[in-house]
Amino acid sequence: MSVLKSFLKMLLSFAPWLFFLIIAQHSMFRLKVGIIGAAVLTVVMAVARLHRGVIMWVGILFFTYAIVAVVLLNNMWAVHYMGALANGALAVGTWAGMALKRPFTLEYAREHTDPSLWKNPAFLRTNYLMTTIWGVVFTVNASLAWQRSIQPTMPDWVYEAITYILLVSAMFISTWYPDYLRRRRNVQAAQAD
């Protein structure tokens, strides 16, 4: 699988969160539209098996909470801390999956990996590494969103730029590194023959 195709599949798997990130800004109406749209996308993608594992369940739980707290109850605390709550939910879900020995990247990596490699220590190590990178990104983004909510020390665009740079970097690494390992393994196998 090409790096570009892997990158696009990853974008698709995070579609509800990206929709929420892009739409839910600058007004209460947009926040509510972002929450409802992301919730619908999460459910549709779960039913279609495009979204699964820890990230799917975090999405279902988070967007259900957000619908109740923001859309139905207009809870201004939840509105004010929505960025920290969203990133925090992803971080907690990612670290919980690791603690349960189910790094969320495994669900996606198995799609294009020979089943004979699923228990291979190198395959598992790679997925733990990729999930750790995502956990760090989500944790840093949650911290930035929290700090931005309580006492901003930088302009809003700087917070947003850092958040986007971290997310795109994690996506790039998550698509490039496994492809790099695959190519390296193929070269080593060819040299052994």
pLDDT tens digits, one per residue of 52-110: 788 889 999 999 999 999 999 999 999 999 999 999 999 999 999 999 999 988 887 88
pLDDT at res. 1: 52
User: For the chain, how are helix, strand and coil distributed in percent, rounded to 5?
Assistant: 85, 0, 15
Count how many Cα atoms sit within 13 Å of the Cα of residue 152 in the half-sphere of its side chain.
Answer: 12
Residue scoring higher pLDDT (32 or 113): 32
pLDDT at res. 57: 92
Residue 71 structural domain: 3-192
- What is the rounded distance in angstroms from the CA atom of residue 32 to the CA atom of residue 37? 8
- What is the rounded distance in angstroms from the CA atom of residue 100 to the CA atom of residue 47? 24
pLDDT at res. 183: 83
pLDDT at res. 3: 62
Q: Does residue 128 register a pLDDT over 80?
A: yes
Q: For tokens 């699964």, what's the residue?
A: 52
Whole-model pTM? 0.87
Furthest-apart CA pair in the chain: how many Å?
Answer: 66
Count how many Cα atoms sit within 13 Å of the Cα of residue 148 in the half-sphere of its side chain.
Answer: 23
The answer to whether the beta carbons of residues 112 and 178 sit under 8 Å apart is: no
The answer to whether the beta carbons of residues 181 and 126 sit under 8 Å apart is: yes
Total domain count, the chain: 1
| Token couple for 172 | 């790039």
| pLDDT tens readout for residues 143-182 | 999 999 999 899 999 999 999 999 999 988 988 887 888 7
Tell which residue, 9, 11, 13, 37, has the closest CA to residue 23: 37
The answer to whether the beta carbons of residues 79 and 30 sit under 8 Å apart is: no
